[in-house]
Structure 1
Amino acid sequence: MTLRAVLKSWVDHYLSDEEAVILLVLLVVGFAVVIFMGRMLAPFLTALVLAFLLQGAVSWLERHRVPHLLAVTLVFLAFVGLLLAMALILMPLIWNQLVGLVQETPRMFASGQRLLDDLQARYPQLVTPDQIQNWIAAAGREITQLGQRALTLSLASLGNVLALIVYLVLVPILVFFLLKDREALVGFTVSLLPQKRTLMTRIWHEMDSQIANYVRGKFIEIMIVGTVAFITFAFFGLPYTALLAVLVGFSVLVPYIGAAVATLPVAAVAGFHFGMTDEFLYVLVAYGVIQALDGNVLVPVLFSEAVNLHPVSIIVAVLFFGGIWGFWGIFFAIPLATLLKALVYAWPRGIKRHREDEGHVAPAGE
């Protein structure tokens, strides 16, 4: 079979339907807009995610016979209150603890160096003094570069205060109108699509509910894990409790990898504060229990309706989309992977099923 025949067979299989061609064009244009104009459209994309998150609360109030405008207003006021609480209470606390941790890093580094020296003295057959010195030198370079990056970031951020204020004002306004005029905006978008959109409608209904459930579920998971971690660390008297709790909460965004990465700062702070004592072991055990309950209890409850993906697919999606879009790519890695899976399964099969349905319907009307 020639290359031309192979290409013709592929086109006939995947792009023989007009709706499939339009769907392909929409996907390419959508990805191109996000890739090349994502920074420009960041406020709108952020507001869109938040609207997805809040729409569940609006729908719940409407089901209890609350008028649409009143439901949107109540949910929006709660959202603004939470946003102000984070901006005025949580963020300054986290920033102060971050500054304190950076200032405490040299002492933690010296304590770790003494620990390595003690281990080398007790177990000289495991590592040599030269290896320990190389490790210490490499860690020192990384810490120095990290401090320089943090200082550069803090100085650069001072010039973006006005842009941040505009961002914080613009996003809530967009969220309000996305919630208030959701039906009109969706209707206008649908009116731009062709009349024949069976395949697109099927994929849209499937992904709309899944992405919305994923965003809300992930937000709830972050809040629960972060709150439980904060209470646990505060119970043990661990310093930098709020900072570590936020880190542990956001670690659930990256499956498998996030929990392992968050373990390092928790273990480092606990080891520096308690030393190699029973309290240090208790903190690590408690942190392990939190991660185990999250993975085996909380995630199945929150994401029971999500499409199952292989762990390799999840990791590849996190690496790929995170490399393209950064934080939002990591956040939406699983929904985007689910979308790709739905497209792969629905595209040729959906066209074939649609043709078969048309073939069955035609004789019935005769």
Structure 2
Amino acid sequence: MNLTPNQLRAASWGAIALVSWLLLSLLAPVLMPFLLAAVLAYALHPLVERLHAWRCPRWLGAGVAIFMLLLVLAAVVLLIVPVITKQVPLLKEQLPLLLERLNDTLIPLAARFGVDVQVDVGQFRVWLRELVAGHESDLLGGLMSSLRIGGSALAAVFGNLVLTPIVAYYLLLDWSNMVERVKGLIPPRWRAKVQSFLDETDEVLGQYLRGQLLVMAVLAVFYTVGLALVGLKLALPIGVFTGLAVFVPYLGFGLGLVMGLLAAVLQFQALLGVALVGAVYIIGQTIESMYVTPRLLGERIGLHPIAVIFALMAFGQLFGFVGVLIALPASAVLLVAIRRAKASYLASELYLESPGISAQKKDEAA
């Protein structure tokens, strides 16, 4: 069977797409650190270019950019680790006392309704003591078994943590040349349209990154001030961590909420203080979901607030936690494609003229 040139081109592109999909599927675990490094290089490339414009060698500018990123990540870790290391031992000591206070409140309240309810604090003390000091050998054996079973996965995680910044550094050194080489693979007749699409996408993604930084700053200030107003002593580290961790939707809020409630339980030892901290987080999450993210982020990338909420839910449903992470930047890229498809449709004969009218005009012209 002889194929027309158009059919041959379509078959060739279909074969290329199929082979690319198979390669991506087979090499997905290996490609993850490289894809993450490419994302980091894309985000840090403007900083490197600015430093290079100030006569800073490119190798030094790339090193400074990677170092600043690692410094920010280290600062986030240093914010959360001291809070956890200080609060967990206090929790072990004070939790039985808190349960006794709960009994003092719960027993009279339940007695009014003829119900005998109380927490067995003595049994809880025994369980806590056994958990902490009674099964060291069992815990050690379980830990070693887990390390043996998941050793390869653990090694892969730490390997990626080391490999990703190294790959990102080398990508930053040669980013402009690599982009030009990739563009050279695009057929000449498509280069103008592809370049226009890439320029618009780059602008939208830049707006997304700036908007995300603004959202993080606003929420860090909100949580820090809110927790300080309710009297929480650890308001600064917990508030700043929650605001910065909002970059990971829901996970940042969840970790901040757990840390805030834990600190409130140990400091206030009263239901009112814990409730006030919980109220700060509920209000913060509501403001973020309904106003801050849609307004400060959605408007910057041209997405309607409802579209932002839908994108988070849809990508989360399709791709899980990773989908939530990529929802807004992926939506920004899709937005550019949809705008161009809409413009092409509005300029097409399908929209401007019906088939009958078009045929009639051709007959009249003839």
Which TM-score applies when normalising by structure 2? 0.61
State the match for 1:148 in structure 2.
Answer: none
Q: Does 1:39 align with 2:26?
A: no
Which runs of 5 or more residues in structure 1 are unaligned? 1-14, 134-150, 356-366
Question: Aligned residue for 1:342?
Answer: 336
- 2:82 is aligned, of 67, 74, 93, to 93
Decide whether the 8 Å contact of 1:23 with 1:200 is kept in 2: no
Is 1:187 matched up with 2:180?
yes
Superposed CA deviations along residues 268-301 of structure 1, whole A, max 9, x for unmatched, are 6535642556645654565567557757568745
Stretches of structure 2 lacking an aligned partner (at least 5 in a row): 1-5, 119-139, 350-366
Q: From the superposition, tell whether residues 162 and 244 of structure 1 become closer, same or farther in structure 2 (CA, over 3 Å).
A: farther
> 2:169 — aligned with what?
176
Q: Report the Cα offset of residue 238 of structure 1.
A: 4.7
What do you get for the CA RMSD once the two structures are aligned? 5.1
Deviation at 1:97, TM superposition (A): 5.8
Q: Deviations over 1:225-268 (max 9, x none)?
A: 3476357647733569756753554245438x975896576456
Query: What is the aligned partner in structure 1 of residue 43 from structure 2?
Result: 53
1:290-329 equivalences in 2 (<5 Å): 296=291, 300-301=295-296, 304-311=299-306, 313-323=307-317, 325-329=319-323
Higher relative contact order (CA 8 A, sep 6+): 1
SS of match in other structure, 2:203: helix
SS in 2 for 1:254: coil
Aligned residues: 316
Shift of 1:187: 1.0
Distance 1:267 1:112, change over 3 A: farther
How far apart are the structure 2 equivalents of 1:154 and 1:342? 51
Deviation at residue 179 of structure 1 after TM alignment: 1.4
Deviation of 1:333 after TM superposition, in Å, equals: 0.5
2:241 corresponds to 1:246:
yes
Q: Deviations over 1:51-97 (max 9, x none)?
A: 2332232244345554544433332333344455556x456436636
Q: Shift in Å at residue 154 of structure 1? A: 10
Q: Which residue of 2 aligns with 1:137?
A: none
Aligned partner letter, 1:321: F
Which of 198, 205, 208 aligns to 1:214? It is 208
* Structure 2 CA distance for partners of 1:107 and 1:215, relative to 1, 3 Å: farther
Task: Give the corresponding residue for 1:163.
Answer: 156
- Asked if the contact 2:80–2:238 (Cα under 8 Å) also holds between the matched residues in 1, the reply is no
Kindly indicate whether the alpha-carbon contact (under 8 Å) linking 1:44 and 1:174 is maintained by their aligned counterparts in 2.
Answer: yes
* Preserved CA contact (<8 Å) 1:47 1:171: yes
The structure with the larger Rg is 2
Partner of residue 327, structure 2: 333
Identity of paired residues, percent?
20
Shift of 1:191: 1.5
In structure 1, C-alpha distance between the alignment counterparts of 2:37 and 2:319, rounded to whole Å = 16
Displacement, 1:43? 0.9
- Alignment partners' CA distance in 1, 2:35 and 2:276: 42
Structure 1 residue 181, shift from structure 2 partner: 0.9
Could you tell me which residue of structure 2 aligns to residue 204 of structure 1? 198
Kept after mapping to 1: 8 A contact 2:211/2:297: yes
Distance 1:175 1:200, change over 3 A: same
- Classify 1:310/1:237 alpha carbon distance in 2 versus 1 (closer, same or farther; 3 Å): closer
Counterpart Cα distance in 1 of 2:94 and 2:40: 36
Inter-partner Cα distance in structure 2 for 1:81 and 1:252: 17
Q: CA distance change for structure 1 residues 82 and 258 in 2, over 3 Å: closer, same or farther?
A: closer
